[in-house]
Structure 1
Amino acid sequence: MFRESLSIAFSALVANKLRSILTMLGIIIGVAAVIAMISIGMGVRDKVQNSIAGLGSNLIMVTPGAASSGGARQAAGSNTKLTNKDAQAIAREVAGVSQVAPSVSRQFQIVHGNQNWMTSVQGTTPEYLEVRNQNLQSGANITNQDVETRNRVAIIGSTVAENLFGEISPIGQTIRINNAPFRVVGVLESKGQSAGGSDQDDIVIVPLTTAQERLIMGISHIQMISVQAASAEVIDQVQNDITTLLRARHRLAANDDNDFTVRNLVSVMNTAAEATGTITLLLGNIAGISLLVGGIGIMNIMLVSVTERTREIGIRKALGAKYHNILMQFLIEAVVIGVAGGLIGIALGVGASYAISAVAGWNTVISWLAIVAAFAFSVFIGLFFGIYPARKAALLDPIEALRYE
């Protein structure tokens, strides 16, 4: 009987091709939308996480100034509280620290020949590249001797290299930063855009002391200390130890607020993952509404089918068909619509995800869990919304059904 019911279901769908396609359209669009929306949401999540991870593994950032509280502004002069000696103390006294890189930065116009480019100049130490997951494409890193002697040497990002030098190798060339000559000793590998859309390759790196004393007019403070913890397991402890050390070095009383801020990228990444996960769930739920609409369409068309085939049902009952035979026949028809619509929707959703990635340049991630869940839901929708019409058909009085015109 199951095979016969399945054959009758397919025959009924084929006999009304346009109606069947229109009925499945809600399921097709719903499944495709769920898969496409979740793939976009997961793509955004992966891009944000990769971008944050690209800033540095197990990274802790120490910046001057207390975090704002209740809209209160930072105290005057609080942005000058961190010094290179603080960075050296962290490297020397805090257990679990792998590398420490103090830095200052400012926008400068970079000139080479008749080409010029406005970019961020980062004054730092040789550890910066390792702490911030930066690799050299060519040339060499700055050295501790460059920092000690305030050498005018520079490492440039690929965006700066392309705009100033084009196809020419920048290594050994001279650029002018704030009218001071600097020799290019290295070019960084491209890292692309960050999650915020900024160009991570638009940067120039020079020795910390050179930036402090020759570019930014004799400052002694630093604007950030980038700390790399030895592992993710000790990052919270390292963050607490840094806070304790800096409070002691800055002679802060127990009731005084910190005049610095310590953040770690693990917490930032977790917050970003939570936010993008919520967005993905919201997109999936919005797309899932169309599946419910498709289910209502299935119920509607099955009720029409029951009405059209009332005499057929009466004849089948008169010939001995039981309640469960009629119920099974119409349930199978509803499930077939759900299965067919789900399969077509999967193909359309996966294709749409690849098309969005290729045309719009968005990062998309196909989730097999989303595909299975969307397909299972489409089958459930077909079954759920087919129960009432199937039960109505199975409960028809055969005598009244045979009289139906």
Structure 2
Amino acid sequence: MFGIYLKRELSRRKKAALVIAMGLALGIALVITVNSVSAGMQQAQDKVLKSLYGLGTDMTVTKAQAAPSGSSSGRPKFNFDAKSSGSKKQSSDRVMTQGGQTLKSSLVTEVSAQKGVASAVGSLSLNVVKVDGSFTQGKAKSSASNAQGGPGGQGGSTGMPQVQGGGASFDVNSYSVAGVDVGHQDLGPLATSKITTGKTFTSAQTSAKVAVLSTSYAKENKYKVGSTLKISGTAYKVIGIATPDSSESTTDVYVPLKQAQTLGDAKNKVTTIYVKATDSKQISAVKTTIQKNIAGTTVTTSADLADTVSGSLSTASNLATNVGKWLSIAVLVAAFLVAALLTSSAVSRRVREFGTLKALGWPSRKVTRQVVGESVVNGLLGGALGIALGLAAAYTVTAISPKLTAELGSTGGSGGPGGMGGPGGPAASAAKNTVDIALSAPVSVTTIALAVGLAVAGGLIAGAMGGWRASRMRPADALRSVS
């Protein structure tokens, strides 16, 4: 009886039911769109952070760069021999550690032993400034003058010699080098890249003079697998070309950690310790533990780096999180109120119907159940329409894939000597690094479940108001409505 009557009443009031359903649908569609775009923002931010942090990395341990002493400016110096009589090709490399002060390699083991740490790997970041070119020494020529001089008017005087010709032409090239723990490559600077040509390091190449180059650096300098790369006079054989999994990596050359320590004159030193926690939910607690037990270090988590992301990605994320969220709530509340008012208004126009039903013996609870049932169906219909609209909006955003820019700032440490080095840890890679990300809008099962819940809630709210009004009607009201 309830089902038959419900179906008949909804069929009679199709327009009213559709208006109520569309009001709820718009609110639900906006909620789905905002949630899916926010999820897309989070994914975009994760891509940016993964490109800096390394797959599986939860935090890094570094030490802030110390201020240079008064006797040393810390600027790079290059010494050349310019005494040659002719032109001569000359080259000089300056290798400096970057990413803050160096840490003892033994700290890697100490960090690994902390509670909540699954594994830890050390890395050494270097900056190489290569200057090469040639000097051409000028020639001194004297100019004679016929000025009179000396007794008897004999002899002339020779003018001051003048240097003619000569000069110098030099090219300056700067690139970054990362020392990789070849025994633990699943964590660290190379973990975010995939070897596309050649091969990666083996555990036996701890001290080998081999190198893996980034795709962009190899292409720019025309290196390929088998080529020889010279760093500060040491020749390294290129064994692989690596392509970053997400965004462009800021590291150009990867060498075994011991080789990097030799190049940087930093034996048994590292600049960054990459840490993986046993439980991703306990990252904050692990950070506190490391800072407490290992003094003088800076622990940076992905959450810390996320706060440094700026550019259009950050702006869009703030809009989606703040404006979008409150706009969704406002529209949803308005939709619920409109649905409730329309349902209440519809009940007012059914005075004769409900009064007659009560006169025939229907109790108030049965009348209320009838109104609530109709409202819930309207809510579910609105939910279905809202999900369809929300999915269409999310699909449109994904299809268009608007480009967002993420500019990454540093979170700790000061610049290296002479301004050549960057801040510590992954933040060093992040400093003034701009990444373009294509925005998508994924819709999760949780979002769909939220939409269904909102549809049912909207129907119940509207039904509760309409049912309360219907339950107050008396059989005499039906008689008064008869003209």
| 2:3 match | 3
In the TM superposition, what are the counterparts of 1:121-136 in structure 2 within 5 Å?
Answer: 121-127=176-182, 129-132=185-188, 133=191, 134-136=193-195
Offset of residue 30 of structure 1: 1.8
Structure (1 or 2) with the greater strand fraction: 2
What amino acid sits opposite 1:381 in the alignment?
G
1:82 aligned to 73, 89, 101, which one?
101
Offset of residue 121 of structure 1: 2.0
Equivalent position SS for 1:366: coil
Residues in 1 aligned to 2:250 and 2:112: alpha-carbon distance in whole angstroms? 32
| 1:251 match | none
Give yes or no for the alignment of 1:157 onto 2:231.
no
1:370 aligned to 447, 456, 464, which one?
447
1:200 aligned to 215, 224, 249, which one?
249
| 1:392 match | 469
What percent identity do the matched residue pairs reach? 21
Give yes or no for the alignment of 1:39 onto 2:116.
no
Deviation string 1:175-197 (CA, Å, 9 cap, x unpaired) is 7999999764321133122xxxx
Between structure 1 and structure 2, the one with the greater Rg is: 2
| 2:338 match | 297
Structure (1 or 2) with the greater helix fraction: 1
Offset of residue 340 of structure 1: 0.5
What amino acid sits opposite 1:89 in the alignment?
S
Q: Work out whether residues 229 and 236 of structure 2, in 8 Å CA contact, stay in contact via their aligned partners in 1.
A: yes
Gaps of 5+ in 2: 75-97, 114-118, 132-170, 309-313, 402-437
Structure 1 residues 340 and 50, CA gap change in structure 2 (3 angstroms): same
In the TM superposition, what are the counterparts of 1:234-245 in structure 2 within 5 Å?
Answer: none
In the TM superposition, what are the counterparts of 1:6-405 in structure 2 within 5 Å?
Answer: 6-14=6-14, 16=15, 19-49=16-46, 51-52=48-49, 55-56=53-54, 57-58=56-57, 61-65=60-64, 75-77=67-69, 82-83=101-102, 86-91=103-108, 96=113, 99-105=121-127, 120-127=175-182, 129-132=185-188, 133=191, 134-141=193-200, 154-161=211-218, 170-173=224-227, 184-193=238-247, 199-200=248-249, 203-205=252-254, 225-229=271-275, 232=278, 258=296, 261-265=297-301, 268=304, 283-284=324-325, 286-360=327-401, 361-404=438-481
Q: Work out whether residues 126 and 143 of structure 1, in 8 Å CA contact, stay in contact via their aligned partners in 2.
A: no
Q: Work out whether residues 27 and 338 of structure 1, in 8 Å CA contact, stay in contact via their aligned partners in 2.
A: yes
What amino acid sits opposite 1:40 in the alignment?
V
TM-score (normalizing by structure 1): 0.68
Offset of residue 297 of structure 1: 1.3
Q: Work out whether residues 47 and 246 of structure 2, in 8 Å CA contact, stay in contact via their aligned partners in 1.
A: no
Q: Work out whether residues 62 and 273 of structure 2, in 8 Å CA contact, stay in contact via their aligned partners in 1.
A: no
- Most deviating of 346-355 and 94-103: 94-103
Structure 1 residues 270 and 386, CA gap change in structure 2 (3 angstroms): same
Residues in 2 aligned to 1:396 and 1:242: alpha-carbon distance in whole angstroms? 69
Residues in 1 aligned to 2:390 and 2:253: alpha-carbon distance in whole angstroms? 43
Residues in 1 aligned to 2:107 and 2:239: alpha-carbon distance in whole angstroms? 29
Equivalent position SS for 1:104: strand
Residues in 2 aligned to 1:316 and 1:288: alpha-carbon distance in whole angstroms? 38
Q: Work out whether residues 159 and 202 of structure 1, in 8 Å CA contact, stay in contact via their aligned partners in 2.
A: no
Offset of residue 392 of structure 1: 1.9
What amino acid sits opposite 2:40 in the alignment?
G
Deviation string 1:343-392 (CA, Å, 9 cap, x unpaired) is 22123223332332232242444332232232122212221222222322
Q: Work out whether residues 27 and 342 of structure 1, in 8 Å CA contact, stay in contact via their aligned partners in 2.
A: yes
Residues in 2 aligned to 1:227 and 1:82: alpha-carbon distance in whole angstroms? 12
Deviation string 1:120-173 (CA, Å, 9 cap, x unpaired) is 522424538543214422224468999969x6x6532234445666xxx83234
Q: Work out whether residues 337 and 382 of structure 1, in 8 Å CA contact, stay in contact via their aligned partners in 2.
A: yes
Q: Work out whether residues 239 and 264 of structure 1, in 8 Å CA contact, stay in contact via their aligned partners in 2.
A: no
Q: Work out whether residues 27 and 331 of structure 2, in 8 Å CA contact, stay in contact via their aligned partners in 1.
A: yes
Residues in 2 aligned to 1:266 and 1:330: alpha-carbon distance in whole angstroms? 51
Q: Work out whether residues 123 and 257 of structure 2, in 8 Å CA contact, stay in contact via their aligned partners in 1.
A: no
Equivalent position SS for 1:294: helix
Deviation string 1:29-78 (CA, Å, 9 cap, x unpaired) is 22222223223323333444465456233465343427xxxxxxx64459
Gaps of 5+ in 1: 67-73, 110-115, 194-198, 248-257
Residues in 2 aligned to 1:228 and 1:138: alpha-carbon distance in whole angstroms? 26
Q: Work out whether residues 64 and 224 of structure 1, in 8 Å CA contact, stay in contact via their aligned partners in 2.
A: no
TM-score (normalizing by structure 2): 0.58
Equivalent position SS for 2:464: helix
Equivalent position SS for 1:327: helix
Residues in 2 aligned to 1:376 and 1:47: alpha-carbon distance in whole angstroms? 28
What amino acid sits opposite 2:465 in the alignment?
Y
| 1:254 match | none
**Aligned pairs, number:** 358
Q: Work out whether residues 105 and 269 of structure 2, in 8 Å CA contact, stay in contact via their aligned partners in 1.
A: no
Residues in 2 aligned to 1:2 and 1:325: alpha-carbon distance in whole angstroms? 9
Residues in 2 aligned to 1:80 and 1:365: alpha-carbon distance in whole angstroms? 36
